Amino acid sequence: MLRLKGSAKEIRLLLHEGVTDADPTPSGPFNQRRKPMKSIRRIALAVALALIFVAGVNAQDTCRVKVLIATFNWNNADEYRKDFMSPNQTDWWLKDGQKKFPGVCITTEKNEADYLIAWTATESADKYTYTVPHTETTQHQGTVNTNSSSRSTSSPETVYSSGSGTYRGTSTTTTYERKDGEWPVVYVNAFVHRMTKDGSDKPYVKTPLFMTKHKGQWRWSKPDKDSFVRSLEFINKQLK
């Protein structure tokens, strides 16, 4: 069972912010969704986050380590959004993460947190080239005329003859055109910082303890989830 602590105000804030279409990254990789699916996904994410908090309220406090989560702008780290998990991260945590890391809890209280996972994402494109075949078919037809001569051994005269024939057929020619294409690619970086827990304006140590980088096509790969998993694996190792 997931253990997550937070005030009622923070819970409402997370449920409100977690389902908006805004994205802290300039390119907005989390907004690459089909419009008819927006409302469904927003509702699903809200329900998932609500389940996280309900589980946290009812679970016993058996946490060995507490983690705060925030996402920030790829080009400006001062623009950040606390207590935000992407749909991929939330789905993985509810289905697998809390079972895999039973001693790790997610919290919204910075003074309780032992570690901060700060992650960021941006969208770019990988360029590639490909060829397109173009085949042309040509029809051919015409007449062939022939002339020949022969001389008989029994006669000194030369015999001339002529003939003609028609033909019909096709021929094909294939040429290749080179073109350039692009694949949309999402880059996700995640950092693990130690929290100071001293109530200061700088709640975490600036130099990260761990960093992980991931890349993938958002449609079928989940670099946001992968970076989250690698970060939690690092934190879990600190418990041993």
pTM score of the predicted model: 0.62
In whole angstroms, give the CA distance from residue 214 to residue 29. Answer: 14
Q: Is residue 163 very low, low, confident or very high in pLDDT (cuts 50, 70, 90)?
A: confident
Mean pLDDT (the chain, rounded): 76
List, for residues 88-135, the tens digit of each pLDDT value: 999 999 999 999 999 999 998 888 899 999 999 998 888 888 888 999
The pLDDT of residue 207 is 93
Q: Does residue 219 carry a pLDDT above 50?
A: yes
- The residue among 159 and 92 whose pLDDT is bigger is 92
| From the candidate CATH numbers 3.30.70, 1.10.101, 3.40.50, 3.40.1350, the one assigned to the domain spanning 8-126+183-237 | 3.40.50
SS3 category, 68: strand
For residue 126, list its beta bridge partners: 183
Residue intervals in the chain for CATH 3.40.50: 8-126+183-237
List, for residues 164-200, the tens digit of each pLDDT value: 778 788 889 999 889 888 888 899 999 999 998 777 7
In whole angstroms, give the CA distance from residue 70 to residue 85. Answer: 8
SS3 category, 109: coil
